Amino acid sequence: YQAKETQSGVVIYSDEHETARRDSAAVEHCLRHCDADREMYVLYQPQVDILSGKTVGFEALARWNSPELGEIRPDVFIAAAERTGRIVEMTPILLRKALAAAAAWDGDFKLSFNLSTRDIDSSAAIDNICQIVSASGYPAHMVEFEVTETLVMADFAQAKSSLAKLSALGARIALDDFGVGYTNFDYIDRLCVDTIKIDRTFVRRLDERGSAEKVIRAMIDMCAKLRIDIVVEGVETERQLAFLRAAGARCIQGYYFSVPMKAAEIPAYLVRGHASAPKENAEFSLMA
């Protein structure tokens, strides 16, 4: 939706803009009054080591089933929760759910969990997050907190101190959506980043003519030198996977292996191997 400015400087909003504004007000309203513990749940998307063919971790992805609005996408409700501040109550609820689910799976899996600006901005929120991880009994070194570049850049000093607390606990730090913001390897070094998640826009661009191949190769090489792990996000096709394998990427997350699943679906996924691996990819079909 776009706001159109006339010559007189009057801004005329299109209908789409008006609808979007009304919708986001409704989302904020329902979010303020929702019972997050009942209405929100977590899906889990596997991260697969393509050398061994094994699933090594899962990213926790929040979902909200609002009685008034129905299923709302996290892009929409997480942003609204950040605006209203409700995210600070939601994060502990979602984290507890995710840790409890992960503890029940058979095997040792990294659990990746997204944090937002508000979580990082507050010392009390971070202390609470550390306490939840400790109390859960899930090994802290198997928990990875994902933060975005923009989040970190907003208040570097605060981000640094919050991430240092999580690191001191033994948890890992991942930089999410890497490459779409302001990339600065000096910051990565100073923030105790363990993993970089290459944003799916780069993977999508592999299908076009352009520099995506070179850029991805450069990121993989740089991370290898800095001893930072890489997870490539949004891998959907055999062709993308083949390129990434040749480029030296190891850990892949994307629809190619599986869409995010409910906690109850994970045990069966682990038994049968990758949920949505295409048939021609026989190499993976028997391994979990």
Q: Where does this chain bind ligand C2E (CB under 6 A)?
A: 45, 61-62, 73-75, 78, 94, 114-116, 146, 176-177, 200, 233-236, 253-255, 260
How many Cα atoms are found within 13 Å in the side-chain-facing hemisphere of 126? 22
Q: Return d(Cα 212, Cα 135) in angstroms, integer.
A: 43
Q: Return d(Cα 65, Cα 264) in angstroms, integer.
A: 17
Q: Which is nearer to ligand C2E, 13 or 142 (CB)?
A: 142
- 149 sits near Mg ion (criterion: CB under 5 A): no
Q: Which of 162, 187, 158 is closest to 175 using CA atoms?
A: 187
- 144 sits near Mg ion (criterion: CB under 5 A): no
- Candidates 166, 176, 232, 257; binder of Mg ion (CB under 5 A) is 176
Phi, psi of 139 (to 5 degrees): -60, 125
Q: Which does 236 bind (CB under 5 to 8 A by kind): ligand C2E, Mg ion, none?
A: ligand C2E
**Shortest distance in whole angstroms from residue 253 CB to ligand C2E:** 6
Window contacting Mg ion (CB under 5 A); options: 29-37, 129-137, 145-153, 279-287: 145-153
Residues 179 and 234: beta-carbon distance below 8 Å = no
Instruction: Supply the Cα-derived Rg of the chain in whole angstroms.
Output: 20
Q: Return d(Cα 196, Cα 137) in angstroms, integer.
A: 26
**Shortest distance in whole angstroms from residue 50 CB to ligand C2E:** 14
Q: Return d(Cα 83, Cα 228) in angstroms, integer.
A: 32
**Shortest distance in whole angstroms from residue 176 CB to ligand C2E:** 5
* Token pair in block for residue 42: 């977590």
Q: Which does 166 bind (CB under 5 to 8 A by kind): Mg ion, ligand C2E, none?
A: none
**Shortest distance in whole angstroms from residue 89 CB to ligand C2E:** 12
> Which one-letter DSSP state was computed for residue 51?
T
**Amino acid at position 230, single letter:** I
Residues 241-260: x/- map of binding to Mg ion (CB under 5 A)?
--------------------
Q: Which is nearer to ligand C2E, 117 or 223 (CB)?
A: 117
- 146 sits near Mg ion (criterion: CB under 5 A): yes
- Candidates 114, 162, 240, 258; binder of Mg ion (CB under 5 A) is 114
Q: Which is nearer to Mg ion, 119 or 146 (CB)?
A: 146
**Shortest distance in whole angstroms from residue 72 CB to ligand C2E:** 10
Q: Return d(Cα 57, Cα 102) in angstroms, integer.
A: 10
Q: Is 47 exposed, middle or buried (0-12, 13-18, 19+ CB in 10 A)?
A: buried
Our measurement of the distance from residue 7's CA atom to the centroid of its chain's CA atoms, rounded to an integer in Å, reads 43
**Shortest distance in whole angstroms from residue 199 CB to Mg ion:** 6
Residues at the site binding Mg ion, with contacts judged by CB under 5 A: 114, 146, 176-177, 233
